[in-house]
């Protein structure tokens, strides 16, 4: 596995979507897809870590697979709206390291 920047990943998703006439769905449709994929992730987490065992008739799906689906859909939404997720990540880390720096108790070093 190679390390990739978020910009590279966003470009890979854009290249994939760009090969289809449909292109990106509308922001509202993608929000619905993110919600759907997040629900599927929640279901898998509940099966794996919660008290609800999977039915024997249900397909074997992993939390990793569902996280990948959520990530792909979020990248699609960001791409369609022209949002650079690498910048968004840097901005949110700055926020956590400044505004929220004293919000949680730190580990003793």
CATH of the domain at 51: 1.10.287.1080
Calpha distance 70→68 (Å, rounded): 5
- The pTM assigned to this predicted structure is 0.85
Task: Say what the pLDDT of residue 82 is.
Answer: 97
Please indicate, yes or no, if residue 42 is contained in any of the structural domains.
Answer: yes
Tell me: the pLDDT tens digits for 71-106?
Answer: 999 999 999 999 999 999 999 999 988 888 778 888
Tell me: the pLDDT tens digits for 37-57?
Answer: 999 999 999 988 888 777 778
Please indicate, yes or no, if residue 109 is contained in any of the structural domains.
Answer: no
Please indicate, yes or no, if residue 83 is contained in any of the structural domains.
Answer: yes
Instruction: Quickly state the pLDDT bin for 109 (edges 50, 70, 90).
Output: low
3-class SS letters over 69-89: HHHHHHHHHHHHHCCCHHHHH
Please indicate, yes or no, if residue 76 is contained in any of the structural domains.
Answer: yes
Parent domain of 19? 6-98
Instruction: Quickly state the pLDDT bin for 32 (edges 50, 70, 90).
Output: very high
Please indicate, yes or no, if residue 17 is contained in any of the structural domains.
Answer: yes
Tell me how many domains the chain contains.
Answer: 1
Please indicate, yes or no, if residue 103 is contained in any of the structural domains.
Answer: no
């Amino acid at each position: 596995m190679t390390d990739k920047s978020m910009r590279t990943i966003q470009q890979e998703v854009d290249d994939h979507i760009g090969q289809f006439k449909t292109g990106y769905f509308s922001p509202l449709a993608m929000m619905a897809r993110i919600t759907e994929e997040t629900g599927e992730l929640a279901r898998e987490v509940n099966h794996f870590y919660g008290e609800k065992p999977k039915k024997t008739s249900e397909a074997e799906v992993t939390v990793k697979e569902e996280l990948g689906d959520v990530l792909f859909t979020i990248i699609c939404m960001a791409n369609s709206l022209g949002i650079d997720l690498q910048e968004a990540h840097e901005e949110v880390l700055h926020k956590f390291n400044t505004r929220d720096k004293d919000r949680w108790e730190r580990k003793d070093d």
